[in-house]
Amino acid sequence: MLDAPSSSSESSSKPATPSNVKFTLAPDPDDENEMILTVSRPSYRRSHSMNDGSEDKEPSSVPSGRTDTTTDSPDSNKISRQRSKTLNALDEERRELSPGILNSLTGFMRRRAPTSRTTSSSRLEEFVEQGLAELLTVEDSETPAQYLDRLLENYPVTNIASLLLSNESEFFKQCMREFLARYFDFSQEPLDLSLRKFLMINELPKETQQIDRVIYEFSRHYCAQHQDAGINEDYCYILTYSLIMLHTDRFNQNNKKKMAKYEFVDNLLATLEQNEDWGKNGELSKISIKAVLEYYYDNVTYTPFTNITKDQSDRILESLVNKTPLPYPSGSFLNGTASTAAPVIMTRKRSSTFRWSSVSIDPYEYIINHNASELKMDVPFDFKNPFLLSTAEYDPDDIIRSQIVPDEQYLDERLLGNLLNTLKGSHCSMLLKVAKSKAAFLLGSRTEVINYDCEATGEEYLITRIFKIGMLTRQETKLLSNYKSWKRYFCVLTSVGLFFFKNVSLFKMKYVMNSKREKTIVLEEKTSNTPILESPEPSFTIPNGAFAVRMRRNLYFDSLVNDSQSSQLQHCTFYIYGKHSKDVYMVDNQYELVSWINSINCLSALDPVNLPIEKLDLPFTDASIGEVINLRILTAAERLEKLNQAIEASTKSLQDFFLMIRRVSLLTPFQAKTRETLHSGVKLFAVKIEWTWFELSRNSLFRHIFECAYEQLEQQHSESEDEEFVTAIDILQE
C-alpha cells in the first residue's frame, strides 16, 4: 500500500481551481492497518433568487404615517427579481463525497447487468456460498502451477483472479503471478490497452480489498515486462487505480458531474510528483508527461470497458497461448458483433473550425486479433549520437557511454602543444594590434588588460594573441525569407574570441623581431587607402567557449556544395556552437577543417583555467601597450570537477529522455487529435535530446583535451623546474 502523503505536500500540489477532484489516502474504517484511496469533489448550492422561497421573504414594513407609493402604482403587483446569490454559494464549505473510490468501484461492479448463467458459474456460486476455504483447498506438495491447472479445469477463466486473490495467502499470490506470466503478455502494449485487455478477460471481485490485490498484481506484472521503460510499481499502481476510477466516473450513469480532463491530469500529476521527481528536466518534461496523461484520459473515456461472458471463457486460454483470435466481448460500444479489423486512418477535416474527424476505431477488434501494434504511433527516433561520425554500432547495454568517445581525427596533440606554448609563452608568432580608441570589441565582462609599459608617451594600443587566421564561409538566411546563401569572412581566432571581418583588405601584416631575434607577425589596421564607409570592427564575434563539431548531417551538406565529378579539393562543412548561436560553416579542404576544429575546441577547453602565463617580449618602445586576456578563475582541479559534474548530469538527463521516448512509443491513441498532440511532444523531445547530446559530446571532448594538456604541462614543469613563471594576477599586482 502507499504511504499517506504529508499535509505539506498536499497543500503544495493542490491545484488552484475551486472544482478540482482530490485524491487522498485515509485509514480503512474496517481495518486500521490498511489505507484506502478516497476521492472528494466540492459541491455547491444551486443558484437561487433572494425572492425565491418563503425563508427569503421578509414582511413588508411601512413606517406609520407614511404611504407606500408602490401600492397605488399600476405595477405594484409585480415583484422585481433581485440579484442572484450564486456567488454567495461559493463561500459554502465544501462537502466531500462518500464513499471512497474503492466503494464506488464496488458499487459500479454490482450495478452491471447480470450475465448468462452456465454450469460452471452456477457451481462456482454454490461453492462461494459454502465458503471459499473449502473451494481453495491446497493439496500436499502441490505447486502453484499445479494448483492453477486444477483450478482452470473446474472454473471459468473469468473468475480465476477473484478466486486467487480472495485472501492474503502468499501461495495464492504465487498462483496469480503464475496465471499472469503464463497467459498475459503486455510487453508491447501501453498501460491503458493492457488494462482494457485484462478486464475483458478477468472480472473484478466485489470486495474493496480484493480489488486492491488484483490491481496490485496487475501493476506488478506490467512493470516486470516494461523494465526498459523505467516504469516502477508505485507509478503503475497509482496510474492503474486512477484509470479505473476515471472509467467509473465517466460511465457511471448515476454520476451527473463528470471529471474534466484538466482535473484528471492536474490531480494525477500532483499525486505522481510525490513518488517520482518529475520536474528534474524542466518544463519540457512536465509538458510531455501531461501530454501522456491526456492520452490516457482520451483513451479511457473513448469507450467503456467490457468483458467476455462465461460462455466464451472456454476458448480464452487456447487463444492467449496460440495468439489466435479471441472471442469478441459482449456489449461492445459499436455493434456488439465481431468484424474484420481495418487499418487506422487518421484524417483532419479542413474547415473554419479546425475540427478533427477520423474513422471510428473499435479497440476490442485490435485486442481480440492481437494486432494492437497497428494503432501505435510512428516515432522515428534514433538513439545514435548525432555528433559522432563513426558508423560503428553502439552497445545496447550502455547506449550513452559507448557513444561519447572523442574522434581522434579532431584531436591533434601536436597542435595542442603548440597552442599551449602560444597561450602561456613569452613569444607569440602572431598578434592582433588595435588602437585603444577602436578596440571596444576586444573588451568584455570576462576580459582583463595587462599593461606592459605604463611610462610610454606614445599612442595607446591593445594587443591579443592570435592562434589561427583564415577564410570561413558562413551559411546565412536572408531577412524575411527562407532562402539561404553562403557569405565569406576573414576570421581571426584570438585568446578572447573568434572575430569575423567582412574585408581582409582593411588589414596589413608586418614582421617585427623581439630581443631574442624571434619573428612575430603583427596584424593591424591600414592607415591609408581605407574606404570611408568601411569599419575595422568585426561583423560579429563568437566568445571563447565555443564548440566546433562535424555532425552526420554535414555529410549531406558536403554532397550539396561539392561537384561529384570534380577532382579538385573538396569543400567541407562543420558546425560552430556559440553561447547563443549555431551556424554552419564551410572551409576549402580537409586540412583546414581539422585545423579549425582542433584550434577552436582546444582553446575553449583551456579558456577558464588559470595557467602560468609569461610576459610577452615585445619590440614596441614608442607606444603604450596593453594585452587583453580572458579572466582565468578556475584551477585545474575545479575545471575537471565541473566537467565531470556536467557529464554526469547530461548522462542522467539522456537516460530519462530515452525512457520517456520508450513509453511514448508504446502508446496507441484512438483519436486523431490525441495522436497529433503526442507527435508534437515527440518533436520537442527530439530537439531537447539533440541539445543534451551536444552538451555531453562537448564536455567529454573538453575533458579529454584538458587531461592531455595537463599531462603536457606536468611534463614541461618537470623539465624546467627552475624556470620562473608569472601569472596574470602577479603582473597586475606588480
pLDDT at 70: 39
User: Higher model confidence: residue 274 or residue 310?
Assistant: 310
pLDDT at 87: 33
Residues sharing a CB contact under 8 Å with residue 516, sequence separation 6 or more, in sequence order:
427, 617
Q: Which residues lie across from 628 on neighbouring strands?
A: 449
pLDDT at 547: 94
Around Cβ 18, how many Cβ atoms within 10 Å? 9
Confidence class for position 646, pLDDT limits 50, 70, 90: very high
Around Cβ 321, how many Cβ atoms within 10 Å? 10
Is 92 a residue whose pLDDT tops 60? Answer: no
pLDDT at 716: 72
Residues sharing a CB contact under 8 Å with residue 157, sequence separation 6 or more, in sequence order:
201, 202, 313, 316, 317
pLDDT at 124: 44
Measured between alpha carbons, how far is 665 from 288 in angstroms, rounded to an integer?
13
Confidence class for position 276, pLDDT limits 50, 70, 90: low
Contact 433, 523 (CB under 8 A): yes
Is 495 a residue whose pLDDT tops 80? Answer: yes
Measured between alpha carbons, how far is 335 from 11 in angstroms, rounded to an integer?
46
Instruction: Kindly report, residue by residue over 118-133, the tens digit of the pLDDT.
Output: 344 444 444 444 444 3
Give the 3-state DSSP-derived string for 593-619, with helices as H, strands as E and coil as C. Answer: HHHHHHHHHHHHHCCCECCCCCCCCCC
CA angle 490, 496, 501 (to 5 degrees): 20
Which helix (H) or strand (E) segment is 704 a member of? Answer: helix 672-719
From the centroid of its chain, how far is CA 120? 50
Residues sharing a CB contact under 8 Å with residue 38, sequence separation 6 or more, in sequence order:
23, 24, 25, 26, 96, 99, 100, 101
Is 499 a residue whose pLDDT tops 70? Answer: yes
Here the cell at position 366 is 485490435
Percentage of the chain modeled with pLDDT above 70: 70
Confidence class for position 425, pLDDT limits 50, 70, 90: confident
* Per-range mean pLDDT, top range of 223-237, 476-490, 652-666, 691-705: 691-705
Contact 438, 621 (CB under 8 A): no
Is 23 a residue whose pLDDT tops 60? Answer: no
Contact 625, 461 (CB under 8 A): yes
Q: Which of 201, 9, 18, 214 is nearest to 102 (CA)?
A: 214
pTM of the model: 0.72
Range of lowest pLDDT (44-53, 505-514, 637-646, 707-716): 44-53
Domains of the chain in sequence order: 101-327 (1.10.1000.11), 409-636 (2.30.29.30)
User: Higher model confidence: residue 56 or residue 499?
Assistant: 499
DSSP, collapsed to helix, strand or coil, labels residue 548 as: strand
Measured between alpha carbons, how far is 549 from 473 in angstroms, rounded to an integer?
15
CA angle 518, 440, 430 (to 5 degrees): 15
pLDDT at 132: 45
Q: Which residues lie across from 521 on neighbouring strands?
A: 430, 511
Across the range 499-516, mean pLDDT stands at 87
Is 392 a residue whose pLDDT tops 60? Answer: yes
Q: Which residues lie across from 677 on neighbouring strands?
A: none
Instruction: Kindly report, residue by residue over 166-197, the tens digit of the pLDDT.
Output: 888 899 999 999 999 999 999 889 999 999 99
Residues sharing a CB contact under 8 Å with residue 521, sequence separation 6 or more, in sequence order:
429, 430, 431, 509, 510, 511
Confidence class for position 712, pLDDT limits 50, 70, 90: confident
Is 488 a residue whose pLDDT tops 80? Answer: yes
Confidence class for position 722, pLDDT limits 50, 70, 90: very low
Q: Which residues lie across from 477 on neighbouring strands?
A: 484
